[in-house]
Amino acid sequence: MENSPSTTSPVCSVCIANYNGAEVIEDCLNSVFAQDCDFPIEVLVHDDASTDGSVDIIRDRYPNAIVIPSEKNVGFCISNNRMVAQARGKYILLLNNDTALFPDALRTLYAYAENQPLTGILGLPQYDMKTRELLDIGSQCDPFLNPVPNLDPGRHDVAMVSGACLWIPRLLWEELGGFPDWFGSLAEDLYLCSLTRLNGYSVQALGTSGFLHHVGISFGGGKVTKENRLVTSRKRRALSERNKSFVMALAYPAPLFQLIFPLHLVLLLVEGLVLALLKREWQVFRDIYLACLQSLWRERKRLLLLRQGIQAGRTIPWRAFVAPFIWRPHKLRLLVKHGLPSIR
């Protein structure tokens, strides 16, 4: 790997959003600087007002990394928007601080991107950092935009790839406008992939190489325990439900939007009430489901205005948008397999 000096235009800008990543950032950066590729890259790290000394670790041990410090915590979306605004590479790789790339990851992504007839977003197989179990090769979606992990290495066209390791041409990022600042964190990858496909570009997951990921560190939960129970946190679930609903409101073409979005809202309300009753915790309904509905109402004008622009630029029919969807509700499958989720 060639770490590009300031006078050399990098092929790829690796953008790493860091917040309190002292325990994981070295594995991440070591994997980036050890890449087996023969083209220049640059590494940008946005430190989101960390309090654990991780920014000092980066500055002291990785002098070739470009550190962008933030005085206050701004979240994943703004962090990445800031890095891409400074990036010089033809391609951008968004990378979580709790990931580690396989040695041939950048070479694999670059070789595929350069030979694509139509540019777009690329992802790699995602493996659990501790168990080395394959988590997904991109994801399909159910009708309510719940990601359904794809485990078929022969399937390249997917609904989305994880923002933990997302490759995108910089010009495409600029065309789409990057992440919405107001999303904060979670489902921003779903948003970007949805817009990419609506505008006629591809979203593909490659079946080779890959990356390791500490799933659930950032927001807690989001994974299955040894007891085969699904564990999540209120914060993760609240952000996920809210932002998935935002994406559905923005990206679903007519008549899909008119058919599914009202049903989605009703099912959210029912799901929240059932969980609250079964767990005897009113706060679950208030903090996750009611908060989601309130956010949709507060943001209705912004959502409507942005939706009009997104749908006006759409180049594919609604049937093409749902081509990588699986129509069985994913939450129902998880309920049968793992029982009621534990929400902490």
What's the pLDDT score for residue 2?
Answer: 61
Instruction: Identify whether residues 205 and 232 lie together within a single domain.
Output: no
Task: Give how far Cα 316 sits from Cα of 141, 194, 197, 206, 321, Å.
Answer: 18, 12, 8, 23, 7
Tens of pLDDT, residue by residue over 78-100, are: 999 999 999 999 999 999 999 99
Last residue of a domain, one of 191, 213, 235: 213
Instruction: Identify whether residues 253 and 201 lie together within a single domain.
Output: no
What's the pLDDT score for residue 1?
Answer: 63
Partners of residue 66 on adjacent β-strands: 44
Instruction: Identify whether residues 331 and 255 lie together within a single domain.
Output: yes
This prediction's pTM: 0.93
What's the pLDDT score for residue 5?
Answer: 46
Instruction: Identify whether residues 262 and 199 lie together within a single domain.
Output: no
296 CB neighbour count, 10 Å cutoff = 18
Tell me, rounded to whole angstroms, the distance of Cα 256 from its chain centroid: 23
Query: Rounded CA gap, 252 and 3, in Å?
Result: 41
11 CB neighbour count, 10 Å cutoff = 21
Sequence-distant (6+) residues with CB within 8 A of 318 are 252, 253, 254, 255, 256
Query: Rounded CA gap, 237 and 285, in Å?
Result: 11
50: helix, coil or strand? coil
Instruction: Identify whether residues 113 and 231 lie together within a single domain.
Output: no
Q: What residues in the chain have per-residue pLDDT under 70? A: 1-7, 216-230, 335-336, 338, 341
Sequence-distant (6+) residues with CB within 8 A of 141 are 147, 148, 159, 160, 190, 324, 325, 326
Domain of residue 50, CATH code? 3.90.550.10
Tens of pLDDT, residue by residue over 180-218, are: 999 988 999 999 999 999 999 999 999 999 999 998 666
**Structural domains of the chain, count:** 2
The domain of 285 spans 221-343
Instruction: Identify whether residues 225 and 180 lie together within a single domain.
Output: no
Last residue of a domain, one of 189, 213, 237: 213
Query: Rounded CA gap, 176 and 126, in Å?
Result: 25
Contact 162, 189 (CB under 8 A): yes
Instruction: Identify whether residues 20 and 136 lie together within a single domain.
Output: yes
- Show the DSSP H helices in the chain as ranges: 25-33, 54-61, 76-86, 105-114, 170-176, 188-198, 234-251, 256-279, 282-284, 291-298, 300-312, 318-321, 330-338
